[in-house]
């Protein structure tokens, strides 16, 4: 009765046969599992030893082969290096730079072909899935180029006696906990990552791929993705973070979204540092043709193009003006590259819509002022520290455009000499028309000068500079410039116009137009600006420009000395008037006392 479920006889017969077949498979699966598990354990350990030349050992508690599901489960896996072998290789100068240790609770191999492995010596696996592995990597720069063992064999040659090929469709590592220890610098750097996902696709080790340079670690593509990462710099002054990172070796591309660099609060920062304070934010960053393998092995950075999209850079000048013992020539871009402790070659760096804002505190005004270069875009060419690249081209060219104070079109080009010991560079550019009152947010707090009226028509400049001196020329064309000299009212903490200095400057010093009259040639300022060792790059460049702007508007050395003398004289007169006022008050008080005494005597 049990087999009379179906109406027709052939259906019953088919069901019976199918049930018997499944039962036989289940009965056979048990001894097959018992037979294959120790073989699997032995083969896996053998492959790891051979492929790593005995540097790594693998162990696990158990392995289960599931014939019906076509999967293998391996439990409690530990992959770690043999320290004795590593130390021996250190003495032989053939030790790798990276050492890896891996701990996995469970690893699942799917879509496997055990008979193909056993009879044809071809390991073919559809997918390897690893969930929540713990990965520790330590990096030491033991050598700067590939070193091969004495037998000079590829990975396929090492395993070819036991396996003809290894193919794995996908390797998936989810929610990886990674600890990375970098011993290559002066101080140990440790990074701990969470929410990291790694995947490798189409791994193939055989005679055709053993020297295939289009593959990375024998994989057609390796993809790494990291979410919501944040860490502090080694000095503790900054926190950097990003929302999402993705690296693909097939595309040779690194993408970062939502990157930011945030400093400590202002008071805490300047209590710990005498450097300027930076804050940086980017919507996205993309690195193309990035050679990941050489960076992973030797910290060699090679890429064709780095693109920075939509962000802002804020610089706050350090208000502590204490003397520095070191030369701040290190802030020059070409000096920074020279001191960069890594092999670097970037063909092009492209900026797109970056707002640059410089802010400084002035003790005389007790206020801060800002200069902005909005929507800055441009290109850097040939950023490199590589000796062979510098022999071919030792110049880094920079072309930038932006809106000065979000109004005037600003264009500048730099050329940095990357090999000159004096860190020489040149800069040339122009500033377009603008209402000069737009720069009062900077001039009032920083220079105690207010632009009352004035229109800039054009400013052009051309300079050559090095760590000692900047020389060049500047032409500034403008109309109807009038200014007000300001002073600080300490009682109300405000800036007020000084009438007499303002009148003197506008009538006797300031040249209101350039050219002075229609048809005349414009005045040209020729500049020689010396640099002190305490002056950083951006301030030095601005000082050179300012040294040309001042004489263009009539503030040469003689007129400045006359203005200073007038202000000093006014200050002295003010002090004298104050002293006389106090003396008059004292005399009035004395006369009042004498009158009161006479009244008391008469009464």
Least reliable range by pLDDT among 79-88, 239-248, 547-556:
547-556
Say if CB 71 and CB 112 are below 8 A apart.
yes
Note the pLDDT of residue 493: 76
Q: Are strands 71-81 and 62-66 parallel, antiparallel or unpaired?
A: antiparallel
In the structure encoding, which two tokens stand for residue 151, read together? 């037998």
pLDDT confidence tier of residue 260, bands split at 50, 70 and 90: very high
Give the span between the Cα atoms of 114 and 125, in whole angstroms.
9
Say if CB 495 and CB 515 are below 8 A apart.
no
Q: Which residue has the tokens 């200073």?
A: 564
Q: How many Cα atoms occupy the beta-carbon half-sphere of 439 within 13 Å?
A: 22
Give the span between the Cα atoms of 559 and 567, in whole angstroms.
12
Give the span between the Cα atoms of 190 and 234, in whole angstroms.
10
Q: What is the SS3 assignment for 155?
A: helix
Quote the pTM value.
Answer: 0.80
In the structure encoding, which two tokens stand for residue 250, read together? 């097939």
Residue with the bigger pLDDT between 9 and 244: it is 244
Q: Which residue has the tokens 């202000």?
A: 567
pLDDT confidence tier of residue 142, bands split at 50, 70 and 90: confident
pLDDT digits (tens, 9 = 90+) for 323-378: 666 788 988 999 989 888 889 999 999 999 999 998 888 888 888 888 999 999 99
Note the pLDDT of residue 433: 96
Q: Are strands 165-182 and 134-139 parallel, antiparallel or unpaired?
A: parallel
Asked if residue 1 has pLDDT above 50, the reply is: no
Note the pLDDT of residue 141: 85
pLDDT confidence tier of residue 413, bands split at 50, 70 and 90: very high
Residue with the bigger pLDDT between 514 and 11: it is 514
Give the span between the Cα atoms of 275 and 585, in whole angstroms.
50
Least reliable range by pLDDT among 95-99, 348-352, 583-587:
583-587
Note the pLDDT of residue 243: 95
Least reliable range by pLDDT among 43-47, 193-197, 261-265, 274-278:
43-47
pLDDT confidence tier of residue 466, bands split at 50, 70 and 90: very high
pLDDT confidence tier of residue 311, bands split at 50, 70 and 90: very high
Percent of the chain with pLDDT over 90: 36
pLDDT confidence tier of residue 384, bands split at 50, 70 and 90: very high
Note the pLDDT of residue 3: 45
In angstroms, how far is the first alpha carbon of the chain from the final one? 147
Give the span between the Cα atoms of 346 and 382, in whole angstroms.
6
Q: What is the SS3 assignment for 218?
A: coil
In the structure encoding, which two tokens stand for residue 170, read together? 């996908």
**Peptide bond connecting 300 to the previous residue in cis, omega within 30 degrees of 0:** no
Note the pLDDT of residue 419: 95
CA angle 14, 19, 20 (to 5 degrees): 100
Least reliable range by pLDDT among 19-33, 374-388, 580-594:
19-33
**Alpha-carbon dihedral of residues 231, 234, 236, 242, nearest 10 degrees?**
-20
Asked if residue 157 has pLDDT above 50, the reply is: yes
- What is the domain partition of the chain in residue ranges? 38-232
Asked if residue 149 has pLDDT above 80, the reply is: no
Note the pLDDT of residue 264: 93
Residues sharing a CB contact under 8 Å with residue 381, sequence separation 6 or more, in sequence order: 347, 348, 396, 397, 398
- For the chain, the average pLDDT equals 83
In the structure encoding, which two tokens stand for residue 314, read together? 């804020």
pLDDT confidence tier of residue 146, bands split at 50, 70 and 90: low
Give the span between the Cα atoms of 346 and 398, in whole angstroms.
13
Percent of the chain with pLDDT over 70: 82
> Which of 167, 248, 150 shows the shortest CA–CA distance to 208?
167
Note the pLDDT of residue 468: 95
**Peptide bond connecting 39 to the previous residue in cis, omega within 30 degrees of 0:** no
| DSSP element (H, E) containing 176 | strand 165-182
Give the span between the Cα atoms of 526 and 530, in whole angstroms.
13
CA angle 242, 246, 248 (to 5 degrees): 155
When mean pLDDT is compared over 25-34, 182-191, 386-395, 584-593, the highest value belongs to 386-395
Residue with the bigger pLDDT between 393 and 77: it is 393
pLDDT confidence tier of residue 186, bands split at 50, 70 and 90: confident
Note the pLDDT of residue 365: 84
Note the pLDDT of residue 43: 65
Note the pLDDT of residue 42: 66
Neighbours of 283 (CB within 10 A): 15
Asked if residue 75 has pLDDT above 50, the reply is: yes
When mean pLDDT is compared over 48-52, 338-342, 393-397, the highest value belongs to 393-397
């Amino acid at each position: 009765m049990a087999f009379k479920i179906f109406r027709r006889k052939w259906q019953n017969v088919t069901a019976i046969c199918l049930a018997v077949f499944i039962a036989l498979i289940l009965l056979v699966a048990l001894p097959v599992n018992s037979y294959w598990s120790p073989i699997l354990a032995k083969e896996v350990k053998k492959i790891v030893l051979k492929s790593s030349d005995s540097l790594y050992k693998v162990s696990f508690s158990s392995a289960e082969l599931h014939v019906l599901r076509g999967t293998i489960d391996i439990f409690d896996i530990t992959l770690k290096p043999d320290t004795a072998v590593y130390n021996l290789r250190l003495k032989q100068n053939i030790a790798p730079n990276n050492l890896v240790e891996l701990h996995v609770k469970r690893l699942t191999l799917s879509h496997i072909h055990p008979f193909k492995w056993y009879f044809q010596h071809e390991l073919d696996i559809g997918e390897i899935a690893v969930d929540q592995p713990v990965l520790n990597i330590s990096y030491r720069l033991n050598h700067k180029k590939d070193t091969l063992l004495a037998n000079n064999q590829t990975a396929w040659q090492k395993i070819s006696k036991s396996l003809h090929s290894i193919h794995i469709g996908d390797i998936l590592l989810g929610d990886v906990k990674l600890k990375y220890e970098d011993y290559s610098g002066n101080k140990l750097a440790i990074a701990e990552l969470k929410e990291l996902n790694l995947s490798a696709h189409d791994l193939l080790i055989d005679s055709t791929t053993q020297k295939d340079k289009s593959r990375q670690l024998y994989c057609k593509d390796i993809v790494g993705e990291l979410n919501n990462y944040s860490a502090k710099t080694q000095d503790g002054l900054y926190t950097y973070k990003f929302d999402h990172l993705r690296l693909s070796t097939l595309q040779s591309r690194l993408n970062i979204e939502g990157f930011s660099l945030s400093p400590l609060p202002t008071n805490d920062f300047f209590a710990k540092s005498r450097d300027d304070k930076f804050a940086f934010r980017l919507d996205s960053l993309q690195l193309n043709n990035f050679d990941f393998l050489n960076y992973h092995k030797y910290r060699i950075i090679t890429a064709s193009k780095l693109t920075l999209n939509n962000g802002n850079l804020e610089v706050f000048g350090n208000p502590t003006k204490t003397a520095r013992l070191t030369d701040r020539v290190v802030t020059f871009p070409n000096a920074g590259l020279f001191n960069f402790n890594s092999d670097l070659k970037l063909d092009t760096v492209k900026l797109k819509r970056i707002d640059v804002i410089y802010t400084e505190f002035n003790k005389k005004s007790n206020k801060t002022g800002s200069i902005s270069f909005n929507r800055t875009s441009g290109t850097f060419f040939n950023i490199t520290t590589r000796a062979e690249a510098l022999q071919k081209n030792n110049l880094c060219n920079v072309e930038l455009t932006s809106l000065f104070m979000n109004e005037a079109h600003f264009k500048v080009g730099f050329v940095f000499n990357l090999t000159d010991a004096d860190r020489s560079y040149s800069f040339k550019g122009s500033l377009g028309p603008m209402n000069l009152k737009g720069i009062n947010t900077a001039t009032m707090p920083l220079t105690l000068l207010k632009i009352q009226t004035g229109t800039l028509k054009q400013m052009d400049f051309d300079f050559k500079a090095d760590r000692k001196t900047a020389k060049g020329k500047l032409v500034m064309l403008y109309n109807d410039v009038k200014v007000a000299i300001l002073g600080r009212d300490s009682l109300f903490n405000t800036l007020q116009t000084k009438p007499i200095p303002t009148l003197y400057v506008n009538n006797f010093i300031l040249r209101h137009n350039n050219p002075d009259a229609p048809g005349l040639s414009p005045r040209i300022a020729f500049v020689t600006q010396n640099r002190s060792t305490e002056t950083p790059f951006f301030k030095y460049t601005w000082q050179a420009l300012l040294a040309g702007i001042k004489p263009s508007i009539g503030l040469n050395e003689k007129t400045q000395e006359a203005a200073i003398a007038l202000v000093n004289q006014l200050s002295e007169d003010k002090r004298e008037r104050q002293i006389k006022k106090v003396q008059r008050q004292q005399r009035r008080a004395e006369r009042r006392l004498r009158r009161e005494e006479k009244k008391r005597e008469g009464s």
